[in-house]
Structure 1
C-alpha cells in the first residue's frame, strides 16, 4: 500500500449559540472545521480533522510511503518542517495527517482504531464543556440540562472575568447536574484561557474555593509559564490543567519538571501520535491526561489504550456539517463503535455546499489587548466583542436540529 495524494476540505460547525471564552466570542455560533483526506493506491482513504496550513511542504514526507508506518512517518513530517518550526497550525497540519494515517492503518487491518491500539473498553469517560461564557443564565441551565440527560456529571465552564459571576454560574450548573443525578455531587472545572497573572489566579480561585469545590482550574496563566503555573498550583486546592496549546514533548518537559501541571491536556488537532507520546510522558510522572477539542474522535480511540486517561471533553452534541461518526454518548461516556478505522464518514457534497467561512476579526482566537492587566472584572462578566443576539435559541430540548450523539436507546 502506498500514499498517492491528499485533498483538503473545510466545513462548518453550527453551534446554534454564541461560543467563546474570556478572550472573545463567536457571536454567530459558526466556526470553520478544516479536514484533510489522505488517499492510497488501494482505495482506502483516511480522514483527519485539523489545519492544512503549509501542507504542500509537509506532504512530500508522506508521498509514496506505506501509510501503515505511522509513527515513523510522524517523525518524518517533524523533520520536514524543523527549520521553519513545527508549532501552531503547522503542527496541527502534521497532526491531521497523522490522524488520517492511523485511520488508514486501522481500516487496512479491518479493525476500529481503539481495538488496533490495544484498547479493551470502548467507553471513554466524558465531561461537558459548552464554551459558554456568552450565555444567559437560562441558556446556560438549558444547555447543561441536555448534557445531564446524556449522563454527564462533570462540567467545565468558561470564565475568569468576574469572581461573583463565575461563582454564580458554577453554582447554577452544579444545581442542574445535581438534580439530574438525584443528589449526587457533580464535578466542576473552570477554564480561563490564560487570562490572568499569577496573583490574580490565586486570588480568584481562592475566593471561589470558599464556597465551591473545583476539580481543576485550566490555563490560569500563560501556557509556557512553568514557574507561574507551579506557583498557582501551590496557592490553591484545585488541580492545574494545561497543555492543549503546547506542541511537542519539549514544551511539556519544563512544566512537568517544575511541578506546574496536575492534569496534562492535549488538543485533538495535534494528532494521535502526539497524544500517545504525551500520555507516556505524563504516566512516567504519575499524571493523568485529558484530551480536549470538538469531535476529538482520534484521541477518543487512543484514550482507550493509555492507563492514565482521566476524561475527554464533550463540547457539542452536534457534529460539523457533513460529518458523521460511529459513536454515541450514553451514561456520561463516549461509546465507540466497531467500524474499521476512526468510523468517520464524510458527505462531501454537503461540505462543499457550506461554502467558505471568512475569517473573523473578533473571537476567542484573538487575545485582548489588556488580558492579564484588568484591575477589576468586566462590568457584565462577559468578554469584549459582540454579544449574542436575542434570536439565538438555547441548546435545549426544544431545538429542532437532530442530535448526532444520541443515547443508545434513541
Structure 2
C-alpha cells in the first residue's frame, strides 16, 4: 500500500450559540474546521482534522510511502520542516496527516483504532466543556444541564476576567451536576486561556478557593512559562493543567522537568503520535494526561491504551457540518464504536453546501490575543454586553 494524494477541505462547526473564552468570542457560534484527506493506491482513505499550512512541503515527506509506517513517517514530517521549524499551524498539519495515517492503518487491519492500539475498554471518561464565557446565566444552566443529563460529573468553565463571576459560575455548574447525579460530588475546573500574570493567577485562585474546591486551573499563565506555572502551583491548592498549545515534545519536557504541571494536556489537532509520546513522558513522571479538543476522536482511541489517561474534554455534542463519528456519550463517558479506523467520515456534498457559513479567519474570536491580556485591573464586561 502506498500514499498517493491528499485533499484539503474546510467545514464549519456551528454551535448555535456564542462560544469563546477570555481572549474573545465567536458571536455567531461558527468556527472554521480544516480537514485533510489522505488517499492510497488501494482505495483506503484516512481523515484528519487539522490545518493545511505548508501541506505541500510536509506531504512530500510521506508521498509514495506505506501509510502503515505511521510513527516513522511522523518523524519524516518533522525532519521535512527542520530548518523553518514545526511549531504552530505547521505542527497542526503534521498532526492532521498523522491522524489520517493512523485511520488508514486501522482500516487496513479491519479494526477500530482503539482495538489496534490494544485498548480493552471502549469507554473514555469525559468532562463537560461548553466554551461558555459569553452565555447569560439561564443559557449557562441549560447548557450544563444537557451535559448533566448524560451523566457527566465534571465540568470546565471558561473565565479569568471576573472573580465573582467565576465563583458564581463554578458554584452553579457544581450544583447542576450534583443534582443530576443524586448529590455525588462533582469536579469543577477553571480555564483562563493564558490571560493572567503569575500574581494575578495566585490571587484569583486563592479567592475562589476560599469557598470552592477547584480541581484544576488551566493555562493560568503563558503556555511556555515553566517557572510561572510552577510558582502558581506552589501558591494554590488546585492542580495546574496545561499543554494543549505546546507544539512538540520538547516544549512539554521543560514544564514537566520544572515540576510546573500536574495535569498534562495535549490538543487533538496536534495528532495521535504526539499524544502518545507526551503521554509516555508524563507517565515516566507519574503525571496524568488529559486530551483537549472539539472533536478529539483520534486521541480518544489512543487514550484507551494509555495507562495515565485521566479524563477527556467533551465540548459540543454535535460534530462539525458534514462530519460523522462512530461514538456516543452515556454515563459520563465517550463510547467508541466498532467501525474500522477512526470511525470518522466526511460528506463532501454537505460540506460544500455549508461553505457560505464558514467564517473569515481574520474575523474576531478566541484565537486572537487581546491587546491588554494580563493587564486588567477591573472585570471586563464587554463579553456579555
TM-score normalized with structure 1 length: 0.92
- Mapped pair 1:163 → 2:163: yes
- Name the residue aligned to 1:368: 370
Q: Tell me by how many angstroms 1:174 deviates.
A: 1.0
Counterpart CA distance in 1 for 2:274 and 2:89 is 14
* 1:162-311 paired onto structure 2 within 5 Å: 162-311=162-311
SS at match of 1:214: coil
Counterpart CA distance in 1 for 2:35 and 2:329 is 23
- Name the residue aligned to 1:377: 379
- Name the residue aligned to 1:81: 81
- Segments of 4+ in structure 1 off by > 3 A? none
- Name the residue aligned to 1:17: 17
- Name the residue aligned to 1:400: none
- Name the residue aligned to 2:104: 104
- Mapped pair 1:353 → 2:338: no
SS at match of 2:355: coil
Counterpart CA distance in 1 for 2:13 and 2:325 is 15
Counterpart CA distance in 2 for 1:163 and 1:275 is 33
SS at match of 2:372: coil
SS at match of 2:215: strand
Q: Tell me by how many angstroms 1:53 deviates.
A: 1.0
Segments of 5+ residues of structure 2 without an aligned counterpart are none
Counterpart CA distance in 1 for 2:273 and 2:254 is 20
- Name the residue aligned to 2:315: 315
- Name the residue aligned to 1:6: 6
Counterpart CA distance in 1 for 2:258 and 2:346 is 43
Cα offsets for 1:140-192 (capped at 9, x unmatched)? 00000000011101000000000001001111111111110111111000000
Q: Tell me by how many angstroms 1:361 deviates.
A: 3.0
* 1:385-404 paired onto structure 2 within 5 Å: none
- Mapped pair 1:141 → 2:141: yes
Counterpart CA distance in 2 for 1:179 and 1:16 is 26
- Name the residue aligned to 1:402: none
- Name the residue aligned to 1:55: 55
Counterpart CA distance in 1 for 2:113 and 2:363 is 38
SS at match of 2:60: helix
Counterpart CA distance in 1 for 2:162 and 2:371 is 17
- Name the residue aligned to 1:337: 337
- Name the residue aligned to 1:70: 70
Segments of 5+ residues of structure 1 without an aligned counterpart are 389-410
Q: Tell me by how many angstroms 1:219 deviates.
A: 0.2
Counterpart CA distance in 2 for 1:348 and 1:163 is 44
SS at match of 2:234: helix
Counterpart CA distance in 2 for 1:189 and 1:330 is 21
- Name the residue aligned to 1:392: none
Counterpart CA distance in 2 for 1:345 and 1:57 is 26
Counterpart CA distance in 1 for 2:305 and 2:347 is 29
Q: Tell me by how many angstroms 1:345 deviates.
A: 1.3
Q: Tell me by how many angstroms 1:227 deviates.
A: 0.4
Q: Give aligned pairs, total.
A: 383
